[in-house]
Amino acid sequence: MDFQIAPADPVRIDNKWALWRPIYQYTWAKWQRSSYRHFADYINALDNATVLDLGTGIGSYIHLLKPKANTRIIFTDPDSLSLAQAAAVPSPWATNFIFDVLDAESAVAKYSEASHISLVHVYSVLTDPEAFLERCHQFTPHATMLIYLSRFNGMRGLDHISSALGFKQIDVSLLKSRFQHEAVGRLNVSFRGPP
C-alpha cells in the first residue's frame, strides 16, 4: 500500500466538516449510503481504469470497493489524519490503492492521467466549484467526472444548517446542464460527464 505522508508532520486543515467526525457514522454516513453503493458499483465494474478520488476523508466507502486487478484508485485528501484513517481500512484490494495527502487542485495536476475523477460529497466544500471543474477539464479533458451531492437545496431548514456549517448551496440545475443525470438517492444526486 502506497501512503505518501510524513507521520511526524501531520497536516491539519481548517474545515468545518471535521466537526462532524465524532458523529459522522451516525449521521451523514447513514444518509449517504445510497451514493456510496452507487459509487462502488460503478468503480467495481471499470476495467483498466485510474480513478482519482478527491476529498476521500475517512474513506467511508473503501470497504465497498473491489476493483479489478488492472484498475487503481488514488485516494486524496488535504487532511492527513482523515486519510490515515482511510488507509487503515482493511481490504484485500489494498494493492490497487494509493493514498496521497493533497488538496483537490494539486491532486488533479499530479494525477492528470486519471480516467475518472470522483467527488463523493466534496463538490459543495470546494472554494470555487465551477472554477475547479474548468481546472479539471484543463488537466484531464478526457476524464469522466463522478459527482455526488448532498441535496440540501429546497429542504426546509437544511439549507440554513448546512450553510452555517460552511457548505456552499449548489444549484443542482447548473450541474444538470453540464452533466448527464445518472442516479438519484434520498439525499444524493450523482452526475456523470460524457466518457
Q: What is the CATH number of the domain that holds 98?
A: 3.40.50.150
Stretch (H or E) spanning 105: helix 104-110
In this predicted structure, which of 57-71, 125-139, 148-162 has the lowest mean pLDDT? 148-162
Residues 6+ apart with CB under 8 A from 165: 16, 17, 19, 20
Query: Which of 192, 180, 151, 185 has the alpha carbon at shortest distance from 37?
Result: 185
Burial of residue 43, with CB atoms counted within 10 A of its CB: 0-12 exposed, 13-18 middle, 19 or more buried: buried
Q: What is the DSSP letter of 143?
A: P
Rounded to whole angstroms, the Cα distance separating 134 from 137 reads 5
Give me the pLDDT at residue 114, please. 94
Rounded to whole angstroms, the Cα distance separating 98 from 107 reads 12
* Count of Cβ atoms closer than 10 Å to residue 71 Cβ: 21
pTM of model > 0.85:
no
- Is the distance from CB of 7 to CB of 86 less than 8 angstroms? no
The distance in angstroms from the start CA to the end CA of the chain is 29
Residue 64: give the domain boundaries: 2-192
Q: What pLDDT band is residue 17 in, cutting at 50, 70 and 90?
A: low
What would the pLDDT profile of 23-45 be if each residue is shown by its tens digit? 666 666 666 677 788 889 999 99
> Which of 61 and 157 is assigned the larger pLDDT?
61
Q: What pLDDT band is residue 21 in, cutting at 50, 70 and 90?
A: low
Three-state DSSP class for 85?
helix
Q: What pLDDT band is residue 13 in, cutting at 50, 70 and 90?
A: very low
Three-state DSSP class for 158?
helix
- How many domains would you assign to the chain? 1
